[in-house]
Structure formats: structure tokens, C-alpha cells
Structure 1
Amino acid sequence: MNNKINTHVIKTAIVGYGFSAKTFHLPFIDTRPEFEVSAISSSQRNIVQQEWPHAEHYFTAEEMLQNSEAQLVIITAPNDVHFSLAKLALENNKHVLLEKPFVTKIEDGETLIRLAEEKDLLLSVYHNRRWDGDFLTIKKLIAENKLGHIKHFESHFDRFRPNVRQRWREQSQDGGGILFDLGPHLIDQTLQLFGLPEAVTAQCKVMREGSTNIDYFNLTLHYPDKLARLNASLFSAGPNLRFNVQGDRGNYIKLGLDPQEERLKAGVLPNTRDWGRENQDQCGRLYFEASSQAEVTECGDYQHFYQQLADAIRNGTPPPVSAEDALWNIRLIELAMESSRLGKTMKVE
């Protein structure tokens, strides 16, 4: 990417002012010196102007993308408009960071990738859970061969939400449901560890009364020497298994979620090196044939995403997450839905 920005700060516009923007993006943009919040599009004009008085306010994303002087646009709008807004931003010569999922259709992702290449602009997707502490711990254990050859990888993102809520993530017919919401987290982490599978077998179900979208999934990714099972349920009220990684030397079991999201929701700013470190009493455990031991969790840090993002925009280095990587998530989601519909294993080609 040769379209570098050499100014002191990267002027950044945010599409949307909901949970995602306020929890996962603005705290980092606001605490990193490389960025400046220059514009926000939202219907909540009074709140935006009160909380971000130095940022321009726009009622519509389209108006902001066409008229603001922002160099980077972060899109936190509903999934079904990711494509149209990202396309408009690129057409107006702005770098783009999309919340996951990248898009809802493969061909839309391919169009955006081509357009970004033609415009020589950055296009990235916010797969922040590559920087979860427990996932970084698994990467370290595999690199150090602590578990031996991995044979079975199990990853969960379970919650207890048995009642349907009136929000777009659950109601939208284009990109709604937990397969598009939580699936990208689990799929992306698995691809980072093991690469593309040979095939996918999936059960994607509508389980809750009154639900219109997938609210349970169980995906099996088939590799030549291992299986990876990815599961998300909204009926898990007890302690939640996060990872169970089994190798021919031992296995690693981790309960509970990385603490960074909860700290961000509580208003803890990500402005110290160890802000994302997990409490030691929450760490996972290594099991061997005749012994077991606690395994201290690596320090998670979503700040690394934004540091790499700034470097990519300023210096042309690779983005923290490539759009090509993110598109594979959508391909595997489509294969999973097809596998569930047909009741058969689908090859990854």
C-alpha cells in the first residue's frame, strides 16, 4: 500500500455510536496518540456532541463518508450495510476498518478487496480476538510443543440468553444470528492456528421460541490429522468451557472469557501495558498423563490491533487483519449453512 499518511495523527471517523463503537473502538482511538476522532455519524446528536465536542457530527453515514476529511473510517453499523458503506468510503478515498463480520456475501467481499487494491487503500476487519489472552496462550503452547501433536481442538462461545431480544443482531435476515455474530471469532482463531480445513460439517439451528435466525451452531472443521469443533449456544447458564485443546502429550482446558470486553464495558481505559491481564485464579490448566498444573494466561491486548493499524496506514506495512483472511470466514460460514441444510459434509475448495 503506497497511499501512506505521514501526518502526526490519523483523522478517524466512526459510523455508528452503539455498543461496538463505544466499547471496542473509541477507547482505543482515544487513548492512542496516532489517532484523532474527527467525525461520528449517529442519530444521537445531543449525546455525541456532549461526549465528543471536538468531533464533527453527521446524522447519516453517507453524508459523513462523502463530506468529512477523515482519512480512516471505522464502520460499526449493522452487518447488512457493511458492504454498501465500505464501498462508499473506499470510493471517497478513505481507509476502512469494518467490524466483523466482514460482509454477508462472498461476492461483496471480493468487490471490496478489488476496489481497495485499485484505490491503494487499507481494508481491514476487526478480528480483535486474535489478541485474547487465552488464545495467545494456546499459540504459545503449540509453538513450544507442550501438548505435542494437536488432535482435537474445541472452542466455545456460549451464553445464557434463552429469550429473543429486539435488536438487529438477532432480528436481521441478512447477517443476523450468532453464526455471523460469534462464528467469525471462533473460525478466525482456528484458521490462525491450523490454516484452512479440508471440509466442514455443521449443525446450524434455530432453537429459541420466536427466533428467526440461527441461535445455535456446532461446526466441525476437518483437517488431515485433527478435528476442530466450534460451538456457540445461548442455553449455557453454568460455567462455560472456552477451550479444550488435546494433543498426544497432554491437553489444555480453559474456562470463562477473556476479561478485556468486560473491562471495556466497565469503563476501564486501555492505557497501561497490563490492562488486559487476567487474574491468576482464572487461568487455565495443563493436564498430562500423571500430573496437572496451572498455566498462567498470556496478557491479552487489543491495543496491538490499533498499533498495527496505525503502522499500516502510516508506513504501508501489512494490516493487523487482511480482508482476504476475513473473507475466508464468510466462505466457511456459507459452507456451514449449506452443510446444515443438506445434512452433509462440504469440501473446502
Structure 2
Amino acid sequence: MSERTTSSSWAQGIVQALEAGGVDCRPLFHELGLDYAALQDPDARFPQDAMTRLWTRAVALSGDPAIGLNMAKVARPASFHVVGYALMSSRTLSEGFARLVRYQRIIAEGADLRFHPGLDGYTLSLTIHGDRLPPARQSAEASLAAALAFCRWLTGRDIAPQAVRLRGEPPADLTPYLQVFGIAPTFAADDYALVLSRADMERPLPTANAALAHLHDRFAGDYLARFVGSRVTHQTRQVLCRLLPQGEPRRETVANALHLSQRTLQRRLQEEGTGFQQLLDDTRRELAEQYLAQPELTLLEVAYLLGFADPSNFFRAFRRWFGVTPGEYRARG
């Protein structure tokens, strides 16, 4: 089974957040069989389930179920590996968050990010996957707290989200959440999400640097290619991108292209936290954004490039993905 991992950069941020909550992590690492010194190795990675155990033990030791919010105090570019610097050099937060989603697996494989515009602003939503252990809610809360704190640090402004959605029951004490997010989150939600205003997300960043952004894209792209090149999810996505202009790819065709049986393909994808239909849908959604940014392509051409034989199916899928029609999405620029 392919085990999900977390970068040493993000693990170091977790350790700093826990230590800010009074937890001594060095003996905890020893207890969990983890190498504390590896936190200083930029290429080291830690198992996802080990990070879940770390969160669980830290909550038990501190008695603070909101300890993940301490990530807001320690989030800096280095916490996000090379992705943090790519985000920092982006033209806007919107452009930076698109990079964050693209390179997320470098930071931690257990998280799936989605970032999309809506009627009221931009939504960054997060799903945390476990391996053998269910993920800790502190992990997701830390990720959202870090994302918002990083936005504030980059802009030098006290950005207030329009909404914060968290899974799980409301805590007895809302104070830490109000201090970090500035508003009361909605609990027992269907997902973990930050909703940020269009004005905040589209305002030029003071740290923007097109040349550096290009350089960081190259570094992050090279790292990601080396890191995920052996993953079946990555290989399947490449095959889907190649086959989609010919029509909707069949599972059998993709499996044959990878020299796998259909059953093995599905099992390997499940081990990596996805499935064939989910991956097909995600790939189409990502490509749709790229194609609509090319004004020379008509909406009909985009539908066919995404493998939709009937354009009406494309329009329905697009509205499900983004909450607007392709035409409305393109008109927003």
C-alpha cells in the first residue's frame, strides 16, 4: 500500500504549533518512533498516520482540543516547503492559492484542496484523508488557520474571512476560534472551508515578483514530478489528459494503457485516496479552468476537449463544479 506522507516543513510547523501549546514534542517523537532530527532535513517526510497520532497525543497531553489553531502563530513561507515561496511571489492571493492547490501534495499528501470562485467570493475547501487512522480534526483546523495567517502575513492586512466552515461538533469554548478567524465558524459543516472576499483575493500582493514566481513554479514542478511520478494517480491523470479529446475514456482503456487490470487499477487508486470516476471528474474540472482561460477556444470546443459528447452534459458538470455556467465563469475573467 502506498502510504501518504507529510513534508518535514509542514511537520516542523505542527511541532512549533504544539510547542506553543506547551507540549514537549521531542519525547513524543521518541514515543511514536519518529526521528526528531529529520525535521531539519528538507527532503524528509513523515507518515500521515504518525502525524495523526502526534495530534491525538498532543491533545491528550495539553487538554486543548483547539491546539491546531496555534498553527496561525507559526505559519511562514517555509512551513509550506517551496510552495510557500511560489505563493509569496504570486501576483495576487487568488493566483497564489491556485499554486497552493496545484502543488499541495508536496506539503502533505493527506490533504485535498479545492479553490474556486463563487457568487460571494473565493472558497478554499479542504478534505483530510487518513491511511489506517481517521484524520484528526486538529490537522484540518491547523491547515485553515495557517492559510488565513499566511494571507494576513503576506498582505500586511488583517484579512477577515466571510465564512469559516468546520466539521465536527461546536467546542465548549469558542474563544480560540474567534481569536484566530475573527468570526464564529459554522460547525458540523459538510467540509472544512474558508470563504474570502473577491477584493482580498484579487488585490495585488506587495511581495509579487513574476520572475521569482516562474522560478518557484519550476522548482515546485520538478519536485512534484519526481515525487508523484511513480504514483498510479499521477500516471492515470496523464493518460486521461491524453485520451479526453477523443471522448470520455473508459476504465478498461486507461488500465490497458498502464498495463494493469481494471481491478488492480481501481485498488491502487483507492490506496492513494481516490477512484477512477473521482479522478476523471477532478481532471476534467482542472482542465476546464485552463481551457476557459484561452479565449480562442469556444465553449463547444472546450466541451469536446473534455470528452463530453453532449455539450449539455459539460454545462451541467461545470455548474456542479463552480456554481456558475462556463460563460459566466469566463466573463468574470
TM-score of the superposed pair, with normalisation by structure 2: 0.29
Higher relative contact order (CA 8 A, sep 6+): 1
TM-score of the superposed pair, with normalisation by structure 1: 0.28
